[in-house]
Structure 1
Amino acid sequence: MTKKDLVSKMAESAEITKIQAEKALNAFLDSVGGTMKEGGKVTLVGFGTFQVSERQERKGINPRTKKPITIPAKKTPKFVPGKALKEMVDA
């Protein structure tokens, strides 16, 4: 499903225009992204949790030169599905 498809489904389900649905979706994405950027997490009970995971600095090997390199630490987004979502998908 693409963003366009999701906007159409949201508009139909909520009985609003596609423009309103797209604004709502963009606001949701901006809010989740902004919260995660600040290091917070967003929990939607039953659906899941969006949070930031921190990866430690680690050693690796450059596949081209076979020389050891240091892979820097970084933050990555993570989604943990909730129980209701897991059950919905499994049904």
Structure 2
Amino acid sequence: MNKKELIQDVAAATDLPQAQAQEVVSAALDSIIKAVANGDKVQIAGFGTFEPRERAARTGRNPQTGAPVEIAASTAPAFKPAAAFKDAVNK
């Protein structure tokens, strides 16, 4: 499912026009992105948790030359599904 299909599904489930459903889906996704980018955790009961995770600096290797390469520390978004979500997928 892509974003367009998600919007169509939300529109059908809520009897909203697709334009309004698009605004709702986009606003929800933007809110999650902004919160995680600010270092906050977003918990949605029954769905899961979005959070930023720190990655430490490390030394990697260039696969072509084998030369060591320094990889800078970074922050990456992470998602941990809720138990209800896992159970629904593992039926």
Q: Specify the SS of the correspondent of 1:65.
A: coil
AA aligned to 2:39 is: G
Deviation at residue 59 of structure 1 after TM alignment: 0.7
Deviation at residue 49 of structure 1 after TM alignment: 0.2
Q: Specify the SS of the correspondent of 1:46.
A: coil
Partner of 1:25: 25
Distance in 1 between residues matched to 2:4 and 2:68, nearest whole Å: 44
Distance in 1 between residues matched to 2:61 and 2:88, nearest whole Å: 41
Distance in 2 between residues matched to 1:33 and 1:85, nearest whole Å: 20
Deviation at residue 64 of structure 1 after TM alignment: 2.0
Task: State the TM-score, normalizing by the size of structure 2.
Answer: 0.96
Structure 2 alignment gaps of length 5 or more: none
Partner of 2:14: 14
Structure 1 alignment gaps of length 5 or more: none
Distance in 1 between residues matched to 2:72 and 2:31, nearest whole Å: 27
Structure 1 residues 25-47: Cα deviation after superposition (integer angstroms, max 9, x where no partner)? 11011100000110001000110
Partner of 1:45: 45
Deviation at residue 65 of structure 1 after TM alignment: 2.1
Deviation at residue 62 of structure 1 after TM alignment: 1.1
Runs in 1 of length 4+ with deviation above 2 angstroms?
none
Percent of pairs with identical residues: 38
Structure 1 residues 41-86: Cα deviation after superposition (integer angstroms, max 9, x where no partner)? 1000110000011100001111122211111111111000001111
Distance in 2 between residues matched to 1:80 and 1:87, nearest whole Å: 13
* Residues matched between the structures, number: 91
